[in-house]
Amino acid sequence: MSTPLEELFVKAKSENRALLIGYMPAGFPTQDGAIEVLKAMIEGGVDAIEIGYPYSDPVMDGPVIQAAADQSLRNGTGAAQVFQTVEAIAPLAPTVVMTYWNPIERYGVDQFLAKLKEVGGSGVITPDLTIEESEGWIASSDSHHTNRIYVVAPSTNDDRLRKVSSAASGFLYAASLMGVTGTRTAVSSSAKDLVTRIRHVSELPVAVGLGVSNADQVREVAQYADGVIVGSAFIRLVQESSSVAEGVAKVRDLAKELSGGLQRS
């Protein structure tokens, strides 16, 4: 049984284009504001959504996302708000949750997956969960027909890429460089090398994230990856806006600009 996310990757491949995947933490800038911003992303051309579960001790997030997560936590965001956000967005676009492992374990693995399925989520990205610690997660996510998305980096060797990709589903999240999330002036050349190495060991779709922030970068990454992930660029627009409405308008405009670069030449 395919998830909406898997079906979308198949559709995009038939159209010879990459997907644009947008990231936003639940509860930022407010609970309702996050839903408005995510809807604006989709209206602007974002194909799939990553909803961040805000966490107090992130290992992968740069300062822009950390600041947004801190604000979300001050707003009282927890599992209930994350699932409410998924429920509002999943009917509009395939939606996954990006979360560190601790909140899943605290909620209860099977309970978390059952609730995610109930509200229409397609999968979960777990940046700090290793393959060695995944036995229970693999069994539970299989039973709930939920995509299991792992993060790999340029430092991941070919043997480990093979192990990770064999355990993953939906897509592989290829971090474009060693470091944390954030906008950058150029996408690291290591991103293309990493995607090439993944292609040698897996047929899973590959989406590239970390540092993609403008249309030229999207156009570049779309030539070799199946998906392009943008987070900090959207969040920064909201942070710099004087109102939620202003942030929503800016996010919609950026999504329109970015989505114009997805077609492969």
Does residue 57 carry a catalytic annotation?
A: no
| CA dist 203 → 21, 77, 189, 200 (Å) | 19, 36, 22, 8
Active site residue 61: yes
CA angle 67, 71, 73 (to 5 degrees): 115
Helix H or strand E encompassing 91: none
> Do residues 115 and 65 lie in contact, with contact meaning Cβ atoms separated by under 8 Å?
no
Catalytic residue among 6, 61, 220, 226: 61
Which member of 50, 70, 128, 246 is catalytic?
A: 50
The alpha carbon torsion through 192, 65, 110, 139 (nearest 10 deg) reads 20
Q: Which of 187, 180, 256, 231 is nearest to 68 (CA)?
A: 231
Which residues are known to be catalytic?
50, 61
